[in-house]
Amino acid sequence: MSIDGELVVFIICGGLSVIGALGMVLSRKAVHSALFIAMVMINLAILYIANSAPFLGMVQIIVYTGAVMMLFLFVLMVVGVDSSDSLIETIRGQRLFGILFGVALAILLIGGIGSSLGDKPDIGLKAANDEFGGNVEGIANLIFSDYLFAFQATAALLITAGLGAVILTHREAWKPKASQKELSVARFMVGAGHPGNKPNPGVYARHNAVNTPAILPDGSLALDSVPEPVRSRDDSLIVDHRAVSTVVELVESEDQN
Amino acid sequence: MSGSSFGFFGTDPWWMVILKAVAIFGMLVVLTLFTIWWERRVVSRMQNRIGPNRVGPAGLLQSLMDGFKLAFKEEIIPKSAHVAVYWIAPVISATAAFLAFAVIPFGPTVSIFGVETPLQLTDFPVSVLYVLAIASVGVYGLVLAGWSSGSTYPLLGGLRSTAQVISYEIAMGLSFVAVFLFAGSMSTSEIIAKQQPIWFAVILLPSFLIYVTSMVGETNRAPFDLPEAEGELVGGFHTEYSSLKFAMFFLAEYINMVTVSALAATLFLGGWLAPWPISLWDSANVGWWPILWWLLKVQLFIFMFIWLRATLPRLRYDQFMKFGWKILIPASLAWIFIVATARVFRDDFAFSNQQLLIAGAVVIAVLLIGSWLLQIRSDRKQAAIESEREQELLVPFDAMAGGHPVPPMPGQVLAYTPRRVLAAQSVAAQVIPPALDSTPTEETPNA
């Protein structure tokens, strides 16, 4: 067997896929696993392209790497930044059965694919693609003739699943949603509190740290200016008493004049 | 080496492939420097300022100097960062940005050192999908940067960028479909060839508008720059990045702008084909001239990016998502449906273009009249419902009507039971001083 481009590509991408698959199983962090799967997917896509199936390769990257894995990452990031899976077995003998079934599946796949490929004549990728005038045209011809029913059934299934997910997570609105105008009116109603931005921490004070309350012109402290999480730990507030007394003195001297 | 086994690598000799790749790389870097300068100048002009005008002629070298400065700045890596991913993220971003340009055509076949070659690195049957695929890989850079920084604001930026890209890539992909239908191909060079008499932006205007909108969302540019919204997220996904790593994100953003602009020009504005008055000149579309037309079209889109940035305020996140899912995607689906139907009638039932246009006009007229009638009907129904509702509200709300106590619906008021009315009266009698029941006397304010 001579060394041609396809073999080189296969060795590189196949090797990287195996590394990615192992890394996916062995890494402790869920996000790292997701990244390794993305790597496997991209390498498989390159192998498809090298095997004269450019459409399949591109769709693999757009759909699986770009959308499915991206959604996985999204969920992982929402669930927790640092959550790593616990390694305690919740089902007894899980590992043993996992290995047994894994080996059984591997034997089944190798046997099945090996025996089905044995007596097929090798017509070559170029001939297969040229039958309908190109890779894309060939796939289109198969999907919209022999596999039309399966294709449409899959589409219907996916749309049903999508609609189901939307309905399950949908909550009926009790009241019409407040418009921007209504919100604005409500903000300026009597008793609604301060309508605009609250003063920033550190206004008139000698520090601009986030836990330094702003000082209002009359010398009182604007505790609202410190974010609630900081304010609730009241021991951390920095109050510059010198600044407060200076402001109070200024206000008083102005009052006397 | 020249006879590679990939069919799509074409027939270029190996040195030509390297030459083109290096030329594209250099052009993208120079275009980035130029775009930054141009953006700053245009935005300045729009804000009645002057902008950078000190370094080099008219300040042209300003971004080069800024680039040097950025690269030599101190690099700060947060302690809580996941170092490996933190390193990879900007590399993915920048690499993907450069890769996408491999299938963009700049011009027709020319002769370089005696070799006839197209002005395009490579092309294959699905090259537009390749750009889409590379763009979706490029987003991993932003998402991973957000995650690996180990900080809240970048994480939020990363989250936003995943949601944003998934949503806007659908609209973007759908806007390509009509182009593929008309061109009969997904390869960039063939799409350009099919726009010879008339550009797709003219015959497929809705697709063009949808693509232009979603390309702004895809590149995270204002008014859709929510992943880095500095008013809300400090710097978004790149908050914790500094020095050269930040520069790579910067570079990737500007190259992505050029890429989506070039793709827009390729798919809708005829790529390197000369615009109308110039196309009357015989040699407008041969030799090296087309690169100029191509560059002008790309710069047109980049100017649009800058103009948008200087004009529009940033969208709120929910408005942005609603716009993508409830307007752009349904609109493009409806448009594809119309285009496909028209194509089938023309190709399979031998309708002429004129007949199709007349049929379209009739359909639009019927839709308009129908929607007008429906509107009148729904207005009447609404009025009937409202009057009925007002009637209902006049009847006092009975919590036990169904035999089981229920809370009042919005607009209904819970009637007080006699016991509660009595209790309320006794409380009021104790609290309210009798003086308030009589006419209030005017109090003099304290001195």
Summarised one tens digit per residue, pLDDT across range B364-419 is 899 999 999 999 999 999 999 888 877 876 777 777 777 777 777 776 777 666 67
Residue B130 contacts A, CB cutoff 8 Å: yes
pLDDT of residue A82: 55
Q: Decide: B210 and B218 in contact? Cβ < 8 Å.
A: no
Residue A47 contacts B, CB cutoff 8 Å: no
Contacts of B85 in chain A (CB under 8 A): 31-32, 35
Contacts of B166 in chain A (CB under 8 A): 66-67, 70-71, 74
Residue A77 contacts B, CB cutoff 8 Å: yes
Query: Cβ contact (<8 Å) for A73 and B155?
Result: no
Better-scored residue on pLDDT, B412 or A39: A39
Confidence band of B436 (pLDDT split at 50, 70, 90): very low
pLDDT of residue A16: 93
Q: Does B412 lie in the same domain as B305? A: no
Q: How close A90 comes to chain B (CA, Å)?
A: 29
> Three-state DSSP class for A29?
strand
> Highest mean pLDDT: which of A46-55, B225-234, B326-335?
B326-335
pLDDT of residue A109: 92
Query: Cβ contact (<8 Å) for B132 and A58?
Result: yes
Q: Which domain holds residue B392?
A: 352-400+407-430
Confidence band of A206 (pLDDT split at 50, 70, 90): low
Percent over 70 (pLDDT), chain B: 91
Would you list the domain boundaries of chain A? Answer: 1-80, 198-256
Q: Decide: B308 and B221 in contact? Cβ < 8 Å.
A: yes
pLDDT of residue B7: 40
Q: How close B332 comes to chain A (CA, Å)?
A: 17
CA distances to A113, B131, B258, B438 from A58, rounded to whole Å, are 25, 9, 22, 84
Q: Does B155 lie in the same domain as B104? A: yes
CA distances to A112, A218, A251, B439 from B446, rounded to whole Å, are 98, 20, 21, 21
Q: Decide: B200 and B141 in contact? Cβ < 8 Å.
A: no
Confidence band of B277 (pLDDT split at 50, 70, 90): confident
In this complex, which of B126, B132, B147 lies closest to A55 when CB atoms are compared? B126
Flag whether B2 is in a domain: no
Contacts of A38 in chain B (CB under 8 A): 140
Confidence band of B26 (pLDDT split at 50, 70, 90): very high
Q: Decide: A66 and B136 in contact? Cβ < 8 Å.
A: yes
Look over chain B and give the mean of its residue pLDDT values, rounded to a whole number.
Answer: 82
Flag whether B219 is in a domain: yes
B446 pLDDT higher than 60: no
Q: Does B415 lie in the same domain as B294? A: no
B444 pLDDT higher than 60: no
Yes or no: domain A1-80 corresponds to CATH 1.20.120.1200 = yes
pLDDT tens digits along B338-349: 888 888 888 877
Confidence band of B1 (pLDDT split at 50, 70, 90): very low
Nearest CA in chain A to B1: A5
pLDDT of residue B226: 80
Q: For testing the chain A interface, which of B147, B181, B382 should be mutated: the one with the most A CBs within 10 Å? A: B147
Contacts of A11 in chain B (CB under 8 A): none
Query: Cβ contact (<8 Å) for B125 and A55?
Result: yes
**Which range among A97-106, A234-243, B31-40, B97-106 shows the weakest confidence by mean pLDDT?**
A234-243
Total count of domains within chain B: 2
Instruction: Output the six-digit token pair for B354.
Output: 């004129």
Tell me the count of A-B CB pairs closer than 8 A: 93
Flag whether B445 is in a domain: no
pLDDT tens digits along A188-200: 887 777 777 777 7
Q: Does B28 lie in the same domain as B147? A: yes
Confidence band of B76 (pLDDT split at 50, 70, 90): confident
The rounded distance, in Å, linking the Cα atoms of B326 and B265 is 27
> Highest mean pLDDT: which of A127-136, A149-158, A216-225?
A149-158
In this complex, which of B129, B159, B163 lies closest to A62 when CB atoms are compared? B129
| Angle ∠(B111,B116,B119) on CA atoms, nearest 5 | 75
Q: Does B155 lie in the same domain as B143? A: yes
Q: Does B417 lie in the same domain as B276? A: no
Flag whether B439 is in a domain: no
- Please state whether the peptide bond connecting residue B223 to the residue before it is cis, i.e. omega within 30 degrees of 0: yes
The rounded distance, in Å, linking the Cα atoms of B80 and B59 is 40
Encode chain B in three state secondary structure. Answer: CCCCCCHHHCCCCHHHHHHHHHHHHHHHHHHHHHHHHHHHHHHHHHCCCCCCCCCCHHHCCHHHHHHHHHHCCCCCCCCCCCHHHHHHHHHHHHHHHHHHHHHCCCEEEEEECCEEEEECCCCCCCHHHHHHHHHHHHHHHHHHHHHHCCCHHHHHHHHHHHHHHHHHHHHHHHHHHHHHHHHCCCCHHHHHHCCCCCCHHHHCHHHHHHHHHHHHHHCCCCCCCHHHCHHHHCCHHHCCCCHHHHHHHHHHHHHHHHHHHHHHHHHHCCCCCCCHHHHCCHHHHCCCHHHHHHHHHHHHHHHHHHHHHHHCCCCCHHHHHHHHHHHHHHHHHHHHHHHHHHHHHHHHCCCCHHHHHHHHHHHHHHHHHHHHHHHHHHHHHHHHHHHHHHHHHHCCECCCCCCCCCCCCCCCCECCCHHHHHHHHHHHHHHCCHHHHCCCCCCCCCC
Model ipTM over 0.90: no
B447 pLDDT higher than 50: no
pLDDT of residue B358: 87
Confidence band of A70 (pLDDT split at 50, 70, 90): confident
Confidence band of A103 (pLDDT split at 50, 70, 90): very high
Look over chain A and give the mean of its residue pLDDT values, rounded to a whole number.
Answer: 81
Q: Does B276 lie in the same domain as B148? A: yes
Query: Cβ contact (<8 Å) for A175 and B410?
Result: yes
Contacts of B1 in chain A (CB under 8 A): none
B2 pLDDT higher than 60: no
Q: What's the gap between Cα A32 and its chain centre?
A: 13
pLDDT of residue B186: 85
Q: For testing the chain B interface, which of A58, A61, A63 should be mutated: the one with the most B CBs within 10 Å? A: A58
Nearest CA in chain B to A67: B166
Mean pLDDT along residues A39-55: 88
B190 pLDDT higher than 80: yes
Query: Cβ contact (<8 Å) for B137 and A135?
Result: no
Contacts of B132 in chain A (CB under 8 A): 58, 62, 66
Query: Cβ contact (<8 Å) for A66 and B139?
Result: yes
CA distances to A32, A116, B165, B416 from A67, rounded to whole Å, are 17, 33, 9, 56
Q: Does B249 lie in the same domain as B394? A: no
Q: Which of residues 137-196 of A touch B (CB under 8 A)?
A: 174-175
Confidence band of A155 (pLDDT split at 50, 70, 90): very high
Flag whether B387 is in a domain: yes
Q: Does B414 lie in the same domain as B331? A: no
Q: How close A139 comes to chain B (CA, Å)?
A: 13
In this complex, which of B82, B124, B166 lies closest to A71 when CB atoms are compared? B166
Q: Which of residues 5-24 of B touch A (CB under 8 A)?
A: 5-8
Residue A42 contacts B, CB cutoff 8 Å: yes
Nearest CA in chain A to B86: A32
Flag whether B251 is in a domain: yes
Q: Does B304 lie in the same domain as B194? A: yes
Q: Does B356 lie in the same domain as B344? A: no
Confidence band of A201 (pLDDT split at 50, 70, 90): low
Flag whether B437 is in a domain: no
In this complex, which of B162, B173, B186 lies closest to A73 when CB atoms are compared? B162
Q: Does B200 lie in the same domain as B133? A: yes
The rounded distance, in Å, linking the Cα atoms of B281 and B286 is 10
Q: How close A137 comes to chain B (CA, Å)?
A: 10
Residue B159 contacts A, CB cutoff 8 Å: yes
Flag whether B440 is in a domain: no
- Per DSSP, A84 falls in state B
Residue A73 contacts B, CB cutoff 8 Å: yes
